Amino acid sequence: MNAARVREKIAFTILGLITLLIVLPIILTIFYVVKNGAGAVNWEFISQSPRHGMREGGIFPAIIGTIVLIIGTMLFSLPLGILSAIYLVEYAKDNLFTRLIKLSVVNLSGIPSIVYGLFGFTLFVVFLNFGTSILAGSLTLAIMSLPVIITATKEALESVPFNYREISLSLGATKWQTLVRVKIPAALSGIIAASMLGMGRAIGETMTVLMATGCAIAMPKSFLDSVQTMTSTIAIELGEVPYNTTHYYALFAIGLVLFIITFVINMISDMILHKYQRVIK
């Protein structure tokens, strides 16, 4: 074996070990959550409301609260984020002001979530008098998700080969027709990924949700009701629950249910993407 193949084998081995080091903690985390939480997951746990100070019953209100909050967040953030990215890529002039906007969008994605929580609490809960509610939480999470959605969507649109645009325009299509019929379909996988990134950041938030939505454990009846999500339930109770008790393992069960919901959402989006790709081929 010559020196070049030896170096190649060493490089592949190092890359494989690095990949294993990245994947292994994820696998161990999932295993630990499943091991501790699977025993507490049953139909009563999923379908019933909590009783006796959340020591009995289930987490159905928290599941509904989480789903409604994420739906509200996506309703506010997705249209605004995608349209903003389209404007920045297709219509905004390349000048100092536009470059500052793009830089600001990138920097906003690095702001700690607690700062967004303070902003949302001040603006939506206090100033606009929405109170701690699903509406205030959805608007706060939407603002927090916007930089991620805008950045990822903009990169997806910019990755479409310029030849697609040139060919479409040369065939007589307008700029809008080229955008709708050529660039957006070609960048759809990236746009869906941007949506999932925004949803992923929203669904995993805790303190921001607590500050904007409160922690009511009752079933929400409107967007102005306070609600407790699965993440906030874990955050509130984990430090106060004795180790190795039924309540302790129930919190891991909540994490397992949250993981399953996130996995199902990602699977559905992947199925939609593959179905759309088959249609446009």
Residues 39-51: pLDDT tens digits?
A: 888 888 888 877 7
Mean of pLDDT over the chain: 83
Q: Does any domain span residue 29? A: no
For 163-210, the pLDDT digits (tens) are 888 888 888 888 888 888 888 888 887 888 888 878 877 887 888 888
Q: Is residue 133 within 8 Å of residue 223, measured between CB atoms? A: yes
Which SS3 state, helix, strand or coil, does residue 51 take? strand
* pLDDT band at 75; cut points 50, 70, 90: very high
The residues, ordered by sequence, that sit 6+ positions from 32 with a Cβ below 8 Å of its Cβ are none
In a domain, 42, yes or no: no
- 188 domain residue, yes or no: yes
Position 140 scores a pLDDT of 92
Is residue 70 one of the residues assigned to a domain?
A: yes
Summarize pLDDT for 95-127 with one digit per residue, the tens: 888 888 888 887 887 888 888 889 999 999 999
Per-residue model confidence as pLDDT tens digits over 18-28: 988 888 888 88
Q: Token pair of 268, please? A: 């559905």
Contact between 59 and 233 under an 8 Å Cβ cutoff? The reply is yes
Domain harbouring 112, CATH code: 1.10.3720.10
Residue 254: count of CB within 10 angstroms of its CB: 26
For residue 45, tell me if it sits in a domain: no
Q: Which pLDDT score, from 0 to 100, does residue 106 have?
A: 79
In this prediction, residues 246-264 reach a mean pLDDT of 85
Residue 109 lies in a domain: yes
Domain region containing 135: 61-280
> Are 116 and 208 in contact, with CB atoms under 8 Å apart?
yes
Query: What's the domain count of the chain?
Result: 1
38 within a domain of the structure (yes/no): no
pLDDT at 182: 84
Q: Report the sign of the C-alpha dihedral through residues 61, 238, 258, 192, in that order.
A: positive
Look up the pTM and report it. 0.84
* Closest-CA residue to 71 (of 130, 116, 138): 138
Which sign does the torsion angle of CA 115, 116, 121, 127 carry?
A: positive
